[in-house]
Amino acid sequence: MPILPQSGDRPGTRRDDTAVLAPTRQARNRGRTEDRSGSPRRTQGNTLLCVANSYRQILAVPGSASFVMAGFVGRLPISMVSLGIVLLVVARTGSYALAGFMSAAYALAAAFLGPFGARFIDRHGQHRIVPVLAISQIVFLLAFVAASSLGLPVVLQFLLLVLSGGTSPNVGSLVRARWAYALRGDISVRTAFALEAIVDEIVFIAGPPLVTVVALQISEPAALALCAVLIAIGTIWLALLRSSQPHPTGKLPIGSAGRVLSAGMAAVVATMALMGAIFGCFEVTTVAYAQEADAADLTGWLLALYATGSLLSGVVVGAVQFSRPTAVQLPVFATALAVVALPLPFVPNTGVLALTIFIAGMAVSPVLISCATLVEELVPTARLTEAMTLTISGIAVGLALGSTLSGFLVDTAGAKHGYWVMTLSSLLAAALTWLVRGPLIRATFRAGSSERPV
């Protein structure tokens, strides 16, 4: 029986006794008190305690700590494989162009073929499909390492990378689907998605240095072999945690395809593609800027500052339960993203760049968290892994385009001009989210009014 939203319900949630009582419990646990007028006010000095309590509450969900840790291990290779491919190809051929081409082949195969694997996961369960995909990814990746080391034809290496990327399960989507299943109908799902955004940032801070050190201290093949080991540990560990996985749906629910391919989902995927363009531009242009300024040794620190800013804002934003619908919040966060990106093409030196990058990074997580929350609100639980994977695919496509366009600007106009891609992508994201604000609000309300599998 469909559960209709009541007055005061947030669009995209179901109303039941738990959901009704949850805000009251959360308010009490987060150090809120009420004045004589009945309006809530936050007790002084409890801000950090409130943030910690928000994350402690979701990690108290049975099984959550285990699947978060498994997801972290399985996700580390996401930030390592592409760089490992570049290091191996450059070491064997000396060609950065070929290395970039091979790395892009792997990433784009994952972007375009990943949603098909995710659909099978939704239908048949993570414990059945994820090990098959992960083993296939590992076999093809190690076959590429062997083919490259033996100097086999480039076409064969390319095909092996396409097959490896195309069979890779998106671990982030798998974990987010578990959170949505565990917290269905609970407003704290936003905090859970914020935690996953934080894990993503840690992955991209820790992964690249790890694969680089192994490649330099041991060998390039060893670096990709480490990636294969981490994929195996993380994905198999996650698949064994059957108690927390979403129930397999078998046949797809009637009408669910339309929800995944809806205009609202298209807007979210487009926004994530623009975020990918921002990420691709940032990496390429920042590396070029540091080299042009004779500060190549600062490159790692500059990249880490961006991720650190995003991590810190993610911690805070994820702990706050906003009263406005997510579709209303997203344009505000996207506008902030555009504003902080405006100065980047004009920075005069690396000192100013470092400060600007840190501030720009702080605007990233709120947009990513809002997009993930919107997907959970728009899409039936039975298709959530597929929908989450589509957004990651959007990022991958945007990253490829953003890095290519910014590289062209760097080569033709100078390093700092590459940041124009980042600035323009941010402005487009802000414009798009304001344009679809009304339709998204209505779409989340309709999705929240319809029956969703439990």
Where does the pLDDT of residue 257 fall: very low under 50, low under 70, confident under 90, or very high at 90 and above?
Answer: low
pLDDT at residue 35, rounded to an integer: 41
The yes-or-no verdict on residue 13 having pLDDT over 60 is no
Q: How far is CA 157 from the centre of its chain?
A: 28
pLDDT at residue 155, rounded to an integer: 94
Task: Identify whether 54 is part of a domain.
Answer: no
Instruction: Tell whether 300 and 280 lie within a shared domain.
Output: yes
Last residue of a domain, one of 193, 216, 251: 251
Contact 311, 202 (CB under 8 A): yes
Positive or negative, the CA dihedral 287, 292, 298, 302 is: negative
| Region at 62 (left for phi over 0; alpha for psi -120 to 50; beta for the rest) | beta
pTM greater than the 0.75 cutoff: no
Instruction: Tell whether 272 and 325 lie within a shared domain.
Output: yes
The yes-or-no verdict on residue 450 having pLDDT over 80 is no
Instruction: Tell whether 331 and 216 lie within a shared domain.
Output: no
94: CB partners within 8 A, 6+ apart? none
pLDDT at residue 99, rounded to an integer: 80
Closest by CA to 190, choosing from 7, 296, 314, is 314
Closest by CA to 102, choosing from 149, 162, 170, 150, is 162
Task: Identify whether 212 is part of a domain.
Answer: yes
pLDDT at residue 426, rounded to an integer: 96
Task: Identify whether 56 is part of a domain.
Answer: no
Where does the pLDDT of residue 442 fall: very low under 50, low under 70, confident under 90, or very high at 90 and above?
Answer: confident
Instruction: Tell whether 91 and 175 lie within a shared domain.
Output: yes
pLDDT at residue 431, rounded to an integer: 96
Instruction: Tell whether 345 and 364 lie within a shared domain.
Output: yes
Instruction: Tell whether 244 and 323 lie within a shared domain.
Output: no
Instruction: Tell whether 209 and 108 lie within a shared domain.
Output: yes
The yes-or-no verdict on residue 295 having pLDDT over 70 is yes
Q: How many domains does the chain have?
A: 2
Instruction: Tell whether 300 and 324 lie within a shared domain.
Output: yes
Where does the pLDDT of residue 20 fall: very low under 50, low under 70, confident under 90, or very high at 90 and above?
Answer: very low
Instruction: Tell whether 243 and 277 lie within a shared domain.
Output: no
pLDDT at residue 80, rounded to an integer: 87
- The predicted-structure confidence for 115-137, as pLDDT tens digits, reads as follows 888 888 888 889 999 999 999 99
Instruction: Give the mean pLDDT of 13-31.
Output: 37
Task: Identify whether 17 is part of a domain.
Answer: no
Last residue of a domain, one of 251, 271, 289: 251
Domain of residue 233: give its range.
Answer: 62-251
Instruction: Tell whether 123 and 180 lie within a shared domain.
Output: yes
Here the CATH number for the domain that contains residue 143 is 1.20.1250.20
Task: Identify whether 57 is part of a domain.
Answer: no
Task: Identify whether 34 is part of a domain.
Answer: no
Where does the pLDDT of residue 259 fall: very low under 50, low under 70, confident under 90, or very high at 90 and above?
Answer: low
Instruction: Tell whether 111 and 205 lie within a shared domain.
Output: yes
Which contiguous run of DSSP H or E holds residue 305?
helix 299-319
Distance separating alpha carbons of residues 281 and 289, to the nearest angstrom: 12
Instruction: Give the mean pLDDT of 284-288.
Output: 84
Instruction: Tell whether 316 and 438 lie within a shared domain.
Output: yes
Task: Identify whether 432 is part of a domain.
Answer: yes
Amino acid letter for position 95: S
Last residue of a domain, one of 217, 251, 285: 251
Task: Identify whether 38 is part of a domain.
Answer: no
Residue 434, number of CB atoms within 10 A of its CB: 14
The yes-or-no verdict on residue 218 having pLDDT over 50 is yes
The yes-or-no verdict on residue 78 having pLDDT over 60 is yes
